[in-house]
Amino acid sequence: MMRNDPIKHVFIWPAVLVVLAISIFPLIYSFTTSFLSYRLIPPIPPRVVWLGNYVSLLQEPRFWNAIFTTTMIAFIAVGLQYVIGFGVALALNARIPGERLFRVALLLPMLLAPVAVALVARMIFNPTMGPLNQLLSMFGLANLPFLTNGHWALACIIAVEIWQWTPFIILMMLAGLQTLPEDVYEAAELENASAWQQFWGITFPMMLPISAAVVFIRLIESYKIMDTVFVMTGGGPGVDTETLTLFAYQEGFKKFNLGYTSALSFLFLIAITIIGVTYLALLRPHLEKRR
């Protein structure tokens, strides 16, 4: 039942006002700035260039490199997080021994500051003093240049992302698994369906809506990645691991190229919207079939 009482405005307006003020203000501000040529250092008065910033950005290889890097990190990391996370959630749901202890341990990484995690990762990936290369040399393998080679550095960042955010998927999938009705499985048991068949025939399709939501959240969040990269590689070597947010930070905060940075953040926003809409459009037929 919905009530109608003037007091409802007292309840909702504080939140609406704060969010409006902090999100719409900057939005309008940077939207208008993105059409200007505007620098703080050296100070030149703003000049209207219309789409000039956007055009020069789209011709800038560094921008495309940042998009490519961010997409690689987001898709590979989230894909692996989903596979590992779903697997672990299934196992925990089956009440393996020691399940309670696992839960606390598994929750931890996602509550830790990404900055601190990245620092720890730097130590572990250190080529001479880190434990990982020592482990490799124990097996007679050569020391790897983890953070100084572009491809390896990207792989390391992805590994850290997986380490930190798989717990989120485990948590959500576990919550979802516990809502599945038991009688379907009992029926499948009577039909002598194997565990493999039960998974693909029942569990996976029934978990599809939750999976879609969880992957969507992680994908959007991964595109914003900044702190991990900032600490681990600083975008280097060169610009090999520079993500979109880091690129915008460099342009905006180091060079104070305001118009350019605003245009960049709007392209970023458009890119995220396109990815989000495409993702939902691709999934919609699968999700609606089940209703």
Partner 1 sequence: MSGQGLTGLSSWSRRLVTAGVLVWCLITAFPLYWVVVTAFKTPPGVVGGPTYIPFVDFTPTLQPFIDLYQGIRGEFFRTFLNSTIVGMSAAAIATAVGAMAAYALVRFEFRVRFGAGLIFFLLALGGYLLFNNSFGFTRPQALLLAFPIALAAAILANRLPLPGPILGNEDILFWFVSQRMFPPIVTAFALYLLYSEIGRLGFQLIDSYVGLTLCYVAFSLPIVVWLMRDFFEAIPIEVEEAAMVDNVPSWRIFLGIVVPMSMNGLLATFMITLAFVWNEFLFALFLTNSRWQTLPILVAGQNSQRGDEWWAISAAALVAIIPMMIMAGLLSRMMRSGLLLGAIK
- Assess 142 for contact with partner 1 (CB under 8 A): no
Say how many residues make up the chain.
291
**Which residue, among 215, 268, 253, has the nearest Cα to 64 in the 3D structure?**
268
Binds partner 1 by CB under 8 A, chosen from 227, 236, 237, 283: 227
CA–CA separation, 271 vs 244, rounded Å?
11
In whole angstroms, the minimum distance from the beta carbon of 180 to partner 1 comes to 7
| HSE (side-chain half, CA atoms, 13 Å) at 253 | 6
Q: Least CB distance from residue 283 to partner 1, whole Å?
A: 15
Residue for token digits 């995690």? 117
Q: Does 220 bind partner 1 (CB under 8 A)?
A: yes
Q: Supply the minimum distance, in Å, between the C-beta of residue 93 and partner 1.
A: 6
Among 222, 241, 245, 250, interactor with partner 1 by CB under 8 A: 245
Q: Could you say whether residue 193 binds partner 1 (CB under 8 A)? A: yes
DSSP readout, 96-136? -TTHHHHHHHHHGGGGS-HHHHHHHHHHHT-TTTSHHHHHH
* Site for partner 1, residues 262 to 281, rule: CB under 8 A: 262, 265-266, 268-269, 272-273, 276
Site for partner 1 in 43-82 (CB under 8 A): none
Q: Cα 207–212–216 angle (5° rounding)?
A: 150
- For residues 36 and 154, which CB has a smaller minimum distance to partner 1 in the complex? 36
- The H or E element that residue 108 is part of is none
Rule CB under 8 A: which of 93-122 touch partner 1?
Answer: 93-97, 102-109, 111-122
- With respect to partner 1, which residue has the nearer C-beta, 61 or 181? 181
Is the CB of 49 or the CB of 117 nearer to partner 1? 117
Closer CB to partner 1, 154 or 243, in the complex: 243
**What six digits make up the tokens of 171?**
């948590």
Answer yes or no whether residue 84 interacts with partner 1 by CB under 8 A.
yes
For partner 1, the binding residues in 1-30 under the rule CB under 8 A are: 1-5, 7-8, 10-12, 14-16, 18-30
How far apart, in whole angstroms, are the C-alpha atoms of residue 52 and residue 40? 18
Stretch that binds partner 1, among 52-60, 145-153, 160-168, 282-290 (CB under 8 A): 160-168
Looking at the Cβ atoms of 53 and 262, the one nearer to partner 1 is 262
Contact 72, 155 (CB under 8 A): no
As a whole number of angstroms, the distance between CA 168 and CA 82 comes to: 10
Q: Is 215 in the site for partner 1 (CB under 8 A)?
A: no
Going by C-beta distance under 8 Å and a sequence separation of 6 or more, which residues neighbour residue 89?
Answer: 169, 170, 173, 174, 177
To the nearest whole angstrom, how small is the minimum distance from the Cβ of residue 227 to partner 1? 4
Residues 135, 194: Cα–Cα separation, whole Å: 39
Residue owning tokens 């208008």? 32
